[in-house]
Amino acid sequence: MVEYRFAIVGAGIAGASAGFNLAPHGSTLLLERESQPGYHSTGRSAALYTETYGNRVIRALTIASRPFFEAPPKGFSEHPLLTPRGTLVIARADQRAKLEAALAESKAILPSVEAMDAARASELCPTFRPGYLDSAFYEEDARDMDVHAIHQGYLRGFRAAGGRLVCDAEVLGLARNGAGWKIETPAGAFTADVVINAAGAWADVLARMAGASPVGLVPKRRTAATIEPPAGGDFRRWPAVIDVDEQFYWKPDAGQLLISPADETPVEPQDVQPEELDIALCVDRIERASTLAIRRIARKWAGLRSFVRDKTPVAGFAPDAPGFFWLAGQGGYGIMTSPAMGRVAAALARGLALPADIAARGVSPADLAPGRLA
């Protein structure tokens, strides 16, 4: 049996970004249950990078991730990781107070966020149903992410630094082995000093296997679909349009329009599938807000966004299971925060302080520590 310093469970964006940052510092194994990494949440996202989304810690981690996305290390990807998009957060007249509060909060973080009246917002996205829109704000700096390129870039860099990825390797048993762990999988048994729990929606399941207390992770189903865009190519320049109460959004996506009812239905960890009712709700809400006539759904899917109670990710050693490290609870922000979270995980798992640029943005280990959820 090969002895590894770190064994990461789960090769989604969380495990891949941690592996990318850990492999240069010690032998690192990445174990994935599926035959391909990225099959679950990572391959099902809306691929939006926005600095005004989520709570204080999420926003700090997102902003700290931008330099990596804009200038990744040489050889990371042949394509740009971010491309211009912009987000337009919209409100009806009865949502105006909500929009004003969200605008004030967003402007405090990102002064470039711009308030817009209905006429100006309609110039950016000329598809609102007449009379629907009251006011909006625009985050020009929001970007589309190339999630596939980001994920593959992490995995390529991980392997180049000597990391080993094993797929079809569901962790079925975790037992103490001296100061470290013995890990049982259908692809063989492995030992490691530190196990990193990047199992996405299954992170509490894995923790129980290790004898660590769960953190109360709740996987929430979110549905998405694509529809044929309106004729003409102009829609490609539309911003992502997001209802201020997060009841729906739409955005251009690879030549089509991606739509979502922004649902958050708590479910057990699973290979989640879309429900017809959520698709119908989505179509209804978007047809009320816009002149889009949705005749046919081209593709539909659902994925899990997994949250703990304060909606902040969990990164740090379990207080009750030595050598068991948490990297979970990325919610709806796991891709856009992955450059910062990968570095955070690698630092904390090696017993180091948080990277200085991330600490300088007001993030502390206590914000992320699993112990806060006891």
Ligand X SMILES: Cc1cc2nc3c(=O)[nH]c(=O)nc-3n(C[C@H](O)[C@H](O)[C@H](O)COP(=O)(O)OP(=O)(O)OC[C@H]3O[C@@H](n4cnc5c(N)ncnc54)[C@H](O)[C@@H]3O)c2cc1C
Q: Which stretch binds ligand X (CB under 6 A): 26-34, 67-75, 130-138, 339-347?
A: 26-34
Tell me: does residue 202 bind ligand X (CB under 6 A): yes
Which residue, chain included where needed, has tokens 């709740």?
218
Closest contact distance (angstroms) between CB of 245 and ligand X is: 17
Asked if residues 368 and 314 have their Cβ atoms less than 8 Å apart, the reply is yes
Positions 114 through 173 that interact with ligand X (CB under 6 A): 170-171
Minimum CB distance to ligand X smaller for 59 or for 305: 305
The token pair that represents 43 in the structure block: 């391959």
172, 206, 204: which is closest to 329 by C-alpha? 204
The C-alpha atoms of residue 194 and residue 173 are separated, in whole angstroms, by 15
Minimum CB distance to ligand X smaller for 133 or for 272: 272
Asked if residues 282 and 261 have their Cβ atoms less than 8 Å apart, the reply is yes
Q: Which stretch binds ligand X (CB under 6 A): 32-40, 73-81, 113-121, 292-300?
A: 32-40
Alpha helices in the chain (DSSP H): 13-22, 56-70, 96-109, 118-124, 147-160, 203-210, 276-289, 338-349, 356-359, 365-368
Tell me: does residue 32 bind ligand X (CB under 6 A): yes
Closest contact distance (angstroms) between CB of 306 and ligand X is: 7
Q: Tell me, what DSSP letter sits at residue 354? A: P
Sheet containing strand 48-49, edge to edge, reads 48-49, 143-145, 82-84
Contact pattern for ligand X over residues 39 through 58, marking x by CB under 6 A: xxxx-xxxxx----------
Positions 282 through 311 that interact with ligand X (CB under 6 A): 303-305
Closest contact distance (angstroms) between CB of 148 and ligand X is: 12
Minimum CB distance to ligand X smaller for 118 or for 210: 210
Minimum CB distance to ligand X smaller for 202 or for 235: 202
Q: Which stretch binds ligand X (CB under 6 A): 22-30, 154-162, 281-289, 333-341?
A: 333-341
Minimum CB distance to ligand X smaller for 11 or for 99: 11
Applying CB under 6 A, among 274, 323, 332, 339 the residue interacting with ligand X is 332
Asked if residues 196 and 214 have their Cβ atoms less than 8 Å apart, the reply is no
The C-alpha atoms of residue 266 and residue 307 are separated, in whole angstroms, by 10
Asked if residues 238 and 124 have their Cβ atoms less than 8 Å apart, the reply is yes
Which residues lie near ligand X (CB under 6 A)?
9-15, 31-34, 39-42, 44-48, 170-171, 198-202, 206, 222, 224, 303-305, 330-336
